[in-house]
Amino acid sequence: MIRFSIPRTMLALLGSFLAICFWPTESYSDLLSGTAEEVGLKVATESRENQKGFGNFTASLTMTLRNKQGKETQRSLRLKVIEIPEDGDRTLFVFDHPKDVKGTAFLVHAHKEGPDQQWLYLPALKRVKGISASKQSGSFMGSEFSYEDMGAVEVGKFTHRFLREEPCGDLKCLVLERIPKSQDSGYSRQVVWLDREELRTIQVHYFDRRNEHLKTMVVEGYAKYLDRFWRSSTITMTNLLTGKSTVLLWSDYKFGIDLDTKDFTRTALKRVR
Amino acid sequence: MLFEKTQRQILKNPFTAPGEGGKRIPASRLPAVFAVVLGVLVSMLPTTAYPAGFTDEVDISGRLSTEAWLYPQSAAYPDQHSYAGGLALETTFYVENDEGTSITVTPFLRYDAGDPERTYGDFREAYLLMYGDIGDGEWELRLGIDRVFWGVVELRSLVDIINQTDVAEHPNEKTKMGQPMAHLTWSGEWGALEFFATTWHRARTYPGPRGRQRYEFIVDQDMISYESGAKEWNIDLASRYSGLFGPLEIGLSVFNGTNREPTLLPIFLDSGLVLAPHYERIRQFGVDAQLNRGSLLLKLEAIYRAGARNSRYIQHLNTLEEEDYAAFILGSEYTLYSILGSNSDLVLFAEWTYDGRGRWATNAFENDLFIAARLGLNDTHGTEFVVSVLGSLNKSSRVLAGEFKRRLSSDNWLLHIETSAFLDIDEDDFIYYVRRDSYVKINLGYSF
């Protein structure tokens, strides 16, 4: 009888190998290993990667602008987004309300690195106007959102740092700090709460150039589209200095429709409705 | 009489053909024309079986506005009123089918209590639009009356030439009349190439005897003549390439056809001296470019125009001297966002405009500097302030202007106030005739 003995150390190695393979939150523990900067970058990258691959979508937006006294004003617009592989998204906004800006459209070619390109279409003049890329810190339609708050957050435009893990409502969150690389950004830094399970943005604190806590954004009402993509229904941005706030309501999400890059050119901008 | 003789010379000139000119719809025919158009549009709107199935999307929007122009200084010429004002309605009807083919019709109506020349109607738009794929790119065809904008600077449009300017509507020459055309675009990642064929030349509008901001003599729209034998039916051709090279946007254009800017020739009629518009055939090459440098935009517009004239009057021929010329505008736009920690944006403009004809230019922009600042409060009212100064670099003339825009609390109403002051206008200046026409304009509009 031949005794086939396996050394104890081998068994231990095999066991830990299997443990690693089947560990329930294996990616999670991997995710959090490394320096704060490494973890920050990994988490931000994975969060961004989770959103990728949707191809394109359209949606409607209603903005409710609320001043300090609680007086409300409504804005409405539609948008189309297309993913560009290896680059930032392209987004086309068309304003419906207020009526005097109806038909005004705004086209953004976001880039992974470097400044984005932006054009405004003014229907009364039929003019397409190239806009300074530094417009990112300006207010979007008089709301508490600035242009840079409206698009997808490209990882390459920030340096990231993992801060801590903490509960956020019913969820558990990873807290990151991200510092914009662009001098044109209105922010010195942002602190982001991402839920641990899906790495969705739950809350962001924005700090102005004087490092004062300027705004807080809270994201709610996540629903899953195409079995993969989480999209929120309500985003509230509160300005802590002025007491004003803006609520963004998303609706009519449509994915996988017949859109291509030709719908995001300056020529296409001139025929938007 | 000297002028009778010269008038006969003009009419006898084999290179000159009188014509009607694509005029605006006169007040007397307005109700009939618009009744027909509205009838056609309304018949298109219901969901009953319209042949091409233009039922997918129907949209009506527009703006009704009332405005008043006040001229605090006494008039330079007899008959001129100290006010103008009335009502204007611009409505856009839009229908689109499943393939994205659409029809857009935009009639414009204005009633003015001060100047009958400003009571009229026009089709700003009435076109069919279709587009589709071609290889990696796309084609787009627009057939009918449309407006086209070329250019990058704020002060005025230099390269822009497809549409006629509605000077009676606003002397800033930024309002355009609809132009019948076929407009084909071929675009791709390499940029866009556009071809235009336009006909039914539109006559430039001018204020009537009662209007302010006009020449000493009245432009007589019954005395229009053309160099082209086809008169207003000459087919004008144009083409434009526009491309994007990183931070540089560039447009190259060429136009070959009847000039949009007339040569105004003095003619002596029984009723007195009038100015007769004569439209030459010209060829114009244009370039417009914008370089994006973060908060700073650098801009250039330049043209070379052959077959045009300067303002030097040759009495024995009763015409203006021919001169091929170049002109350019160099500009910059600098934006300060969120100034002083507020939501407000401040945009600063500086533009230098130069015309190669120098003092014989046919406009006020022979060598001028324009400086402007626009403050946008970015509030829910969209409040905006603009102040500007346009100053001649050779003469004393200056134009100070201010503008205020604010959406009223009900959101559909927009108040727009603008004022211009003409200061120290040099007697030699082309715009000497407006020296007493400083104005305040108040416009209240309802958008729907």
* Mean pLDDT (whole number) for A227-240: 94
Tokens of A259: 């859109």
Q: Please report the pLDDT score of residue B2 as a whole number.
A: 39
Tell whether A259 is covered by a domain. Answer: yes
Q: Which of A93, A88, A91, A92 is nearest to A77 (CA)?
A: A93
A53 vs B356: CA distance, rounded Å? 55
Tell whether A221 is covered by a domain. Answer: yes
B232 vs B23: CA distance, rounded Å? 10
Tokens of B413: 């109403």
Say what the pTM is. Answer: 0.87
User: Which uninterrupted H or E stretch holds B427?
Assistant: none
β-pairing, B367-376 vs B57-70, is: unpaired
Q: Which of B205, B202, B226, B203 is nearest to B18 (CA)?
A: B226
> What residues in A contact B137, CB-CB < 8 Å?
262
Q: Please report the pLDDT score of residue A3 as a whole number.
A: 57
> What residues in A contact B131, CB-CB < 8 Å?
271
Interface membership of A196 toward B (CB under 8 Å): no
Q: Locate the chain B residue with the closest alpha carbon to A263.
A: B138
> What residues in B contact A135, CB-CB < 8 Å?
335, 337
Tell whether A7 is covered by a domain. Answer: no
Q: Please report the pLDDT score of residue B204 as a whole number.
A: 94
Which CATH number goes with the domain that contains A58?
Answer: 2.50.20.10
Query: What is the Cα Rg of chain B in Å?
Result: 23
Our count of domains for chain A comes to 1
> What residues in A contact B341, CB-CB < 8 Å?
208, 210, 241
Q: Which residues pair with B352 in a beta bridge?
A: B330, B369
CA distance A84 to chain B (A): 13
DSSP assignment of chain A equals -------HHHHHHHHHHHHHHH-TTHHHHHHT-S-HHHHHHHHHHHHHHHHTT--EEEEEEEEEEE-TT--EEEEEEEEEEE--TTS--EEEEEEEESGGGTT-EEEEE--SSS--EEEEEETTTTEEEEE-GGGGGSBSTTSS-BHHHHS---GGGEEEEEEEEEEETTEEEEEEEEEE--TT-SEEEEEEEEETTT--EEEEEEEETT--EEEEEEEE--EEETTTEEE-SEEEEEETTT--EEEEEEEEEEES-S--GGGGSHHHHTT--
Q: Please report the pLDDT score of residue B378 as a whole number.
A: 86
* Mean pLDDT (whole number) for A238-254: 94
Identity of the residue numbered B268: F
Interface probe for B, chosen from A87, A108, A139, A214 (most Cβ of B below 10 Å), is A139
Q: Please report the number of interchain residue pairs, chain A to chain B, with beta-carbon separation below 8 angstroms.
A: 111
B332 vs B301: CA distance, rounded Å? 12
Tokens of B160: 């822009």
Interface membership of B149 toward A (CB under 8 Å): yes
Dump pLDDT digits (tens) for B88-111.
999 999 999 888 899 999 999 999
CATH for B2-447 is 2.40.160.10
* Mean pLDDT (whole number) for B230-251: 95
* Mean pLDDT (whole number) for B374-400: 93
DSSP type of residue B393: S
B182 vs A157: CA distance, rounded Å? 44
Q: Which of B203, B196, B201 is nearest to B237 (CA)?
A: B196
Tell whether A2 is covered by a domain. Answer: no
Interchain pair A133, B294: CB under 8 A: yes
Interface membership of B345 toward A (CB under 8 Å): yes
Q: Please report the pLDDT score of residue B27 as a whole number.
A: 65
Q: Please report the pLDDT score of residue B229 as a whole number.
A: 93
* Average pLDDT score over chain A: 88
Q: Please report the pLDDT score of residue A104 as a whole number.
A: 94
Interface probe for A, chosen from B108, B159, B343, B415 (most Cβ of A below 10 Å), is B343
Coil vs helix vs strand at B239: strand
Interface membership of A67 toward B (CB under 8 Å): yes
Which residue do the tokens 């997808």 mark? A152
Tell whether A265 is covered by a domain. Answer: yes
Q: Locate the chain B residue with the closest alpha carbon to A129.
A: B152
* Average pLDDT score over chain B: 88
Q: Please report the pLDDT score of residue A94 as a whole number.
A: 95
Interface membership of A84 toward B (CB under 8 Å): no
> What residues in A contact B152, CB-CB < 8 Å?
129-130
Per the CB < 8 A criterion, the answer to whether A155 and A44 are in contact is: yes
Answer yes or no: is pLDDT of B64 > 90.
Answer: yes
Closest partner residue to A134 (CB to CB) among B337, B411, B414 is B337
The widest CA-to-CA distance across chain B, in whole angstroms, is 70
The secondary structure of B146-212, three-state, reads ECCCCCCCCCCCCCCCCCCECCCCCCCCCCECCEEEEEEEEEECCEEEEEEEECCCECCCCCCCCCC
Tell whether A29 is covered by a domain. Answer: no
Interface membership of A114 toward B (CB under 8 Å): no
Q: Which residues pair with A224 in a beta bridge?
A: A230
β-pairing, B218-219 vs B272-279, is: parallel
Q: Please report the pLDDT score of residue B48 as a whole number.
A: 41
Domain that holds residue A111: 38-269
CA distance A164 to chain B (A): 30
CA distance A147 to chain B (A): 11
Q: Please report the pLDDT score of residue B46 as a whole number.
A: 43
A109 vs A88: CA distance, rounded Å? 7
Interface membership of A243 toward B (CB under 8 Å): no
Q: Which residues pair with B244 in a beta bridge?
A: B249
Closest partner residue to B294 (CB to CB) among A74, A132, A208 is A132
Residues 274-333 of chain B whose Cβ lies under 8 A from any Cβ of chain A: 290, 292, 294-297, 333
Cβ atoms within 10 Å, residue B269: 14
β-pairing, B272-279 vs B225-226, is: parallel
Q: Please report the pLDDT score of residue B290 as a whole number.
A: 97
Tell whether A100 is covered by a domain. Answer: yes
Which residue do the tokens 């449009």 mark? B157
Dump pLDDT digits (tens) for B68-88.
999 999 999 988 999 889 999
Interface membership of B96 toward A (CB under 8 Å): yes
Dump pLDDT digits (tens) for A140-167.
888 999 888 887 788 988 999 999 999 9
Interchain pair B295, A184: CB under 8 A: yes
Q: How is chain B split into domains, by residue range? A: 2-447
Dump pLDDT digits (tens) for A166-192.
999 899 999 999 999 988 888 999 999
Tell whether A10 is covered by a domain. Answer: no
Dump pLDDT digits (tens) for A58-85.
999 999 999 889 899 999 999 999 999 8
Phi, psi dihedral angles at A271 (to 5 degrees): -115, 15
CA distance A40 to chain B (A): 28
Interface membership of B9 toward A (CB under 8 Å): no
Contacts of B150 (CB under 8 A, 6+ apart): B157, B159, B160, B161, B162, B240, B251, B253, B286, B288
B440 vs A27: CA distance, rounded Å? 69
Interchain pair A138, B407: CB under 8 A: no
Closest partner residue to B294 (CB to CB) among A74, A129, A184 is A184
Answer yes or no: is pLDDT of B176 > 70.
Answer: yes
Closest partner residue to A138 (CB to CB) among B242, B338, B448 is B338
